[in-house]
Copies of this chain bind each other. A is one copy, B any other.
Amino acid sequence: MKTPVTEMLSIEYPIFAFSHCRDVVAAVTNAGGFGVLGAVAHTPEELETDLTWIEEQTHGRPYGVDLLMPKKYAGADKGGAQRTELRTMIPDGHRAFLEGLLERYDVPPLPPAPRSGDAPKRAGLQVDGKSMAPLIDVAFRHDIRLLASALGAPPPWLVEQAHRRGVVVAALAGRVKHALAQVEAGVDIVIAQGTEAGGHTGEISTMVLVPQVVDAVAPVPVLAAGGIANGRQMAASLALGAAGVWCGSVWLTTHEAETSQAVRARMLAANSEDTTRTRSFTGKPCRVLRSEWTDAWEAPDAPAPLPMPLQSMLSDRPRRRVEAISERPGSRAAELLSPFIGQVVGQMNTVRPARRVVLDMVEELADAWQGVDDALSAD
């Protein structure tokens, strides 16, 4: 296949895999697609380890890294307030509400924090430039071919550094005006992400958003994101004018994914109507699998979610408590699990290797195309 992004990144198929799991990233890159490691919750040491591992597996094939850099966040005006200082901005009522919820589902506190030196497996959501800088340094020391950024245009210094190193910069946009701002900031690829996507997402659907973004930013290539997990949806994306597809959810039930058994089982069973957009995890609307957690935050007695990064600071540790306990037999904590996932969860009914997902998409794409070709050529 040949589109502006297969040319730009020397890949066989314009299928981009966003995943927090290095195994998925390597498998998709090796299958002829392009793996992108979601590294926002990595420590610099973890990122170093993962990128080294990916490069060992992929032997020079191209891959990328995704970080999260919102322009606005609470405390930004203070030039990056300390976490301890930010913590004082979380109302007691919010903490009490969340503790009450965890108690109702018998979720105990986490075991005592590890001694200093024993870093936690995940560092939690880092959203300020200061926390991101060491991760960016690690990424640039490796042979990444693409750096992706969500939530706002990447800062000029980052685009400049990337371009100096020959690294392509991609950024997500949920509205036409955001796409224009991304291009203004020097982005090389715009990822037009529809509301059906998992995680942080806007309100406009992929079908409506993609053609408008394609027209607005031409000749900058656009990837379609949100609602894409098979070859028919990939064919549709190309028909909308996209140069490729950016998929996240579909990898979560692959063999390689680090998804826990409890979460995987819920994903495999879920329908497309079982997701919801909630501000209860990060403060910004995120599409997740609906659960007792999201229902509780929608209830009339629930406090309004806090702005970024306060809501994450409030919910990250409780969320880890839920995850830690949810695998125990008989635990009710699983009812509180709300993994980030898109509406395509309704299509995710089998467990496949990530490589198979890529090859299935390519095959289905050809079939879908043949079907349309037959319709159009008949007269």
A residues at B contact (CB < 8 Å): 1-3, 175-176, 194-196, 202-209, 211-212, 226-228, 230, 232-233, 235-241, 271-273, 342-344, 346-347, 365-366, 368-369, 371-376, 378-379
A to B CB contacts below 8 Å, 17 in the list: A1-B379, A2-B378, A175-B272, A176-B272, A176-B346, A196-B205, A196-B208, A204-B346, A205-B205, A205-B227, A205-B343, A208-B227, A208-B342, A208-B346, A212-B347, A238-B371, A241-B371
**A195-B205, A211-B347 provided; 7 other pairs, C-beta below 8 A?**
A2-B375, A175-B273, A176-B272, A194-B207, A203-B273, A207-B227, A208-B347
A275 CB to closest chain B CB (Å) equals 8
Is A233's CB under 8 angstroms from B204's CB?
no
A213 CB to closest chain B CB (Å) equals 10
Most B Cβ at <10 Å: residue of A228, A342, A344 = A344
Is B207's CB under 8 angstroms from A206's CB?
yes
User: A239 contacts which chain B residues (CB < 8 A)?
Assistant: 232, 235-236, 238-239, 368-369, 371-372
User: A236 contacts which chain B residues (CB < 8 A)?
Assistant: 207, 235-237, 239-240
User: A3 contacts which chain B residues (CB < 8 A)?
Assistant: 375
- The copy count of this chain in the complex is 2
Most B Cβ at <10 Å: residue of A3, A372, A374, A378 = A372
A94 CB to closest chain B CB (Å) equals 18
Is A343's CB under 8 angstroms from B375's CB?
no
A179 CB to closest chain B CB (Å) equals 12
Report Cα–Cα, A246/B237, bound state, in Å: 19
A270 CB to closest chain B CB (Å) equals 12
User: A365 contacts which chain B residues (CB < 8 A)?
Assistant: 376
User: A205 contacts which chain B residues (CB < 8 A)?
Assistant: 194-196, 205-207, 226-227, 343
